[in-house]
Amino acid sequence: MDAAMSSDPSNTADAAIDPAGRPAVAASPAASAYDPRYDPLVSLPGRGQEYAPTYWVDTAGAPPADDGPIQGDIEADVVIVGSGFTGLSAALALARDYGVRAVVLEANRAVWGCTSRNGGQGQNASGRLYRSQWIERWGLDTARRLDAEIHEGFDYWKSLVAGIDCDAQPGGHLYTAHREKKMAFLRNEARVMREQFGYDTRMLTRDELRERYVDDHEAMGALHEPDGIGVHPLKLAYGYMRQARALGARIHPGSPVLGWSEEGGGYRLRTPGGTVRAKRVAFATGGYTAQGVNRLLDNRIMPILSNSMVTRVLTPDERARAGLKSTVFITDTRTLRFYYRLLPDGRMQIGSRSALRGADAQQPRHLALLREGLARKFPALRGIEVDYSWWGWVDVSHDMMPRITRPDPARQVYYAFGYGGNGVAFSAHAGRRLAQRMMGQDGLAWDLPIYDSPLPGHLFAPFRRLGQALLYRWYYLRDEML
């Protein structure tokens, strides 16, 4: 789900120019330093940038071999722009199920964006809406069909996880009520999941949570859902990458798309090293999608920064004093939620919201928010040393649900976006569905809301940062004060 730059297919000019008139990439083909200020609303995607300094990058081992930047002109049946979970899953499915050797174009290092920066929480979910909200929006019948589709995707993802060494931590998922009044909300969600969708959900009292899982001092209780696996996301992505390349897929980092146009019933994509001609094009650049990719995507994603930190390794005594008895991953009920878990090597990971703009992402207050959040939940860990801190962009759609679709039936152009922070597991299925759609496979699922319509736009999208700032203030008041 990483960034590349292109022009709109309706624009016959090749060269992509940003709004300020700068060229789309630097002239030098050499690898470049990681830019911590990257912001998809104002930045260009770069070329060959190094990875963000995440715990995942430091502990995943050496990256798999790739095919290097594009050198010369080539032809392909399918081109996928973006080498994250979705793009790699699509390339894997195309090769495995259809014998199609896709070409994957990546602006920076392979799996550079969301995939190497997320929390590694694989849930039976996608988008930002709860199942009770599905029922409110689409009715029970559609909600049940959507649940079956997403659960099928979770099972598919589990099958991939089972074949890759990615430090899998099974055990389900805990929603913790950070205030007493949130227990009613969790009880209702547990009831809906149990009665309407057949899940073995259960509510835990505060004492049960402490006895079985964690002594979270903020938690008033919790909902436990059985489907959930924590993973090392970069090890998992490297596994996808190895499998896809073994079947013939080609993965080209350092190859941003400078411009693209329709030509002879197909598409011509220009990179710094050469032109790629393709019959079909799919975009899977997630929260790292720069403005100007094409008119089908402009202003249809709200990129949101999420911060994450990982502590030093905790001693057994420190884990005991903090009441850390389980590695099950956890999310609290704040709108601006904290997500956290004990990692296999004994470190604590916690993440939450961050800056509004990339230019402010390095401000110390964002790391301080995570430190304080961890200390409130686990007072024994106050002041614990932090070994890793990073941030990354999440692709949130304006209606809070993803899309895997062909937005213009007149063009063989496809995309998969909008997981809203719940893409670790669902992206595997989204990539497989993307491959099926590109190959013209019919399916009963295509009339579901996540497949049968494009990402919605928003009238006030140009002012999204102002609206986001106001919403964050309101969310804080509602989460903490009201």
pLDDT band at 298 (very low <50, low <70, confident <90, very high): confident
In tens, the pLDDT along 222-248 reads: 999 999 999 999 999 999 999 999 999
Q: How far from 390 is each of 3, 117, 294, 344, 352, CA to CA, in Å?
A: 18, 7, 29, 19, 11
pLDDT band at 7 (very low <50, low <70, confident <90, very high): very low
What is residue 25's predicted lDDT score, i.e. its pLDDT?
Answer: 36
Judge whether residue 325 has pLDDT over 80: yes
Q: Which amino acid is at 23?
A: P
Q: How far is CA 171 from the centre of its chain?
A: 21
Tokens of 225: 């859902």
What is residue 30's predicted lDDT score, i.e. its pLDDT?
Answer: 54
Residue pair 56/84 in contact by the 8 Å Cβ criterion: no
Give the predicted TM-score (pTM) of the model: 0.93
In tens, the pLDDT along 164-204 reads: 999 999 999 999 999 999 999 999 999 999 999 999 999 99
The DSSP secondary-structure symbol of 23 reads B
Mean pLDDT of the 289-299 span: 83
3 state DSSP class of 427 = helix
Beta strands at 103-105 and 74-81: parallel, antiparallel or unpaired: parallel
Judge whether residue 51 has pLDDT over 50: yes
Mean pLDDT of the 261-286 span: 95
- CA 423 to CA 242: how far, in whole Å? 20
- CA 458 to CA 442: how far, in whole Å? 31
Mean pLDDT of the 440-460 span: 91
In tens, the pLDDT along 11-31 reads: 333 333 232 232 333 333 456
pLDDT band at 155 (very low <50, low <70, confident <90, very high): very high
- CA 269 to CA 290: how far, in whole Å? 16
